[in-house]
């Protein structure tokens, strides 16, 4: 009887350990961050690798300036001279302490915007770019719409609290992915420090983004804080040809959680080449010619290989004898489609 009892006890202990181990593995992913909302995204594909309340509308503080920088970079030249308008002087919060009439290059104001988080820099750039803050904010909202950021609305270019100023972690990741595709923005946010040339003087400024020193692969992007938004952060890092974007909204340990999420992403996903450059393809139809895909295509897949067998390709015949499209699916989700060419 005692022997049976011992066997049962051992079984129950083993079962508890097994359940505990399973729960630990699940929680390791589920508890990557204590943020109210978070996303981990691969930049090129926009694939979401991890998400938590990703579509919840929340204030985002100075991470707003990622969109500000994008709109400025797309509409101004780096060497343009900005004459500081009086409306940009004395803006509350983080500041470059600009003076009315001061002359400074767009590229220097962008550094002040993204490294030091200058709210006065945001207003000066907005007025220079669009003629007024109101018109610039409309440009920001139009750009958000074009990117597909459907849970985003801007009320200002700096991120000071406004009830009509919000985004979601997913939208902010989309905006950041677009911003990092711009050379000027990408180079600006990767700087640990910069020298601003103001009239005949120069000052050194330093980036508030501690992730740049915490993670060797880090290359962006922006911090943020207000009482209502809490600590907000968007970070990026590139490793083995894959750039990941992390967004955490209302997250006290924002740098530590962001680093953990990025390391988790790099450990669990690998950028995989699915369509090599100029690889020949022959559709299965009788008499079909050999076609080539003009674009190379890579996509982040799970590093354990479990998704490799889910990649499928198909050839879509175009009307009027225009050839074929090469379609690539991950399971049933279309992830790539290009018209093929013949030589």
> Is residue 193 among the annotated active site residues?
no
Q: Which of 37, 45, 65, 168 is catalytic?
A: 65
Three-state secondary structure of 47-84: CEEEEECCCCCECCHHHHHHHHHHHHHHHCCCCCEEEC
Active-site residue 62, yes or no? yes
User: How many CA atoms lie less than 13 Å away from 333 in the CB half-sphere?
Assistant: 7
37-42/242-249 β-pairing: antiparallel
> Quick check: is 228 catalytic?
no
The answer to whether the beta carbons of residues 100 and 205 sit under 8 Å apart is no
| 223 beta partners | 233
Q: How far apart are CA 70 and CA 339, in angstroms?
A: 30
Which is catalytic among the residues 37, 117, 121, 298?
A: 117
Describe the crossing of helices 119-130 and 106-114 by its angle, rounded to 10 degrees.
140
Could you give the CA distance from residue 81 to residue 128 in angstroms, rounded to a whole number? Answer: 9
Q: What is the token pair recorded at 169? A: 């972690």
| Contact between residue 147 and residue 119 where contact means Cβ atoms under 8 Å apart | no
Quick one: how far is CA 155 from the chain centroid?
21
Catalytic choice (37, 45, 62, 236): 62
Residue of 65, 72, 73 lying closest to 91 (CA atoms): 65
Q: 301, 282, 285, 306: which is closest to 293 by C-alpha? A: 282
Contact assessment for residue 235 and residue 262, using Cβ atoms and an 8 Å cutoff: yes
For the stretch 94-98, contacts whose Cβ atoms lie closer than 8 Å and that sit 24 or more positions apart, written own/partner, are 94/62, 94/118, 94/119, 95/119, 95/120, 96/120, 96/121, 96/196, 96/205, 98/124
Cα 111 from Cα 265, distance rounded (Å):
28
Catalytic residues: 62, 65, 117
């Amino acid at each position: 009887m005692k022997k049976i009892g011992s066997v049962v006890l051992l079984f129950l202990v083993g079962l508890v350990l097994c359940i505990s181990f399973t729960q630990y593995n699940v929680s390791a992913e589920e508890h990557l961050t204590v943020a109210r909302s978070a996303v981990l995204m691969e930049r090129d594909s926009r694939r979401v690798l991890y998400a938590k309340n990703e579509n919840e509308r929340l204030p985002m503080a100075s991470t707003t300036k990622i969109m500000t920088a994008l709109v400025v970079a797309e509409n101004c030249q780096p060497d343009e001279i900005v004459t500081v308008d009086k409306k940009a002087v004395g803006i509350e919060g983080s500041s470059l302490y600009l003076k009315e009439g001061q002359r400074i290059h767009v590229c220097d104001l962008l550094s002040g915007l993204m490294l030091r988080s200058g709210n006065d820099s945001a207003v000066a750039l907005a007025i220079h770019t669009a003629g007024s803050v109101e018109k610039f904010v409309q440009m920001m909202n139009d750009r958000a719409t074009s990117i597909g950021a459907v849970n985003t609305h801007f009320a200002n270019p700096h991120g000071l609290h406004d009830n009509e100023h919000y985004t979601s972690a997913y939208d902010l990741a989309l905006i950041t992915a677009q911003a990092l595709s711009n050379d000027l923005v990408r180079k600006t946010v990767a700087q640990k420090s910069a020298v601003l040339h103001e009239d005949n003087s120069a000052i050194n400024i330093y980036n508030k983004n501690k992730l740049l020193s915490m993670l060797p692969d880090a290359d962006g992007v922006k911090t943020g804080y207000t009482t209502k938004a809490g600590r907000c952060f968007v970070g990026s890092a590139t490793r083995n040809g894959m750039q990941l974007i992390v967004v955490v909204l209302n997250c006290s340990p924002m740098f530590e959680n962001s680093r953990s999420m990025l390391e988790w992403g790099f450990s669990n996903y690998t950028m995989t080449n699915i369509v090599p450059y100029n690889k020949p393809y022959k559709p299965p139809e009788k008499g079909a010619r050999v076609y080539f895909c003009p674009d190379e295509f890579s996509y982040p897949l799970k590093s354990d290989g479990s998704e490799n067998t889910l990649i499928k390709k198909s050839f879509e015949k175009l009307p009027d004898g225009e050839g074929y499209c090469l379609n690539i699916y991950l399971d049933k989700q279309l992830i790539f489609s290009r018209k093929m060419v013949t030589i």
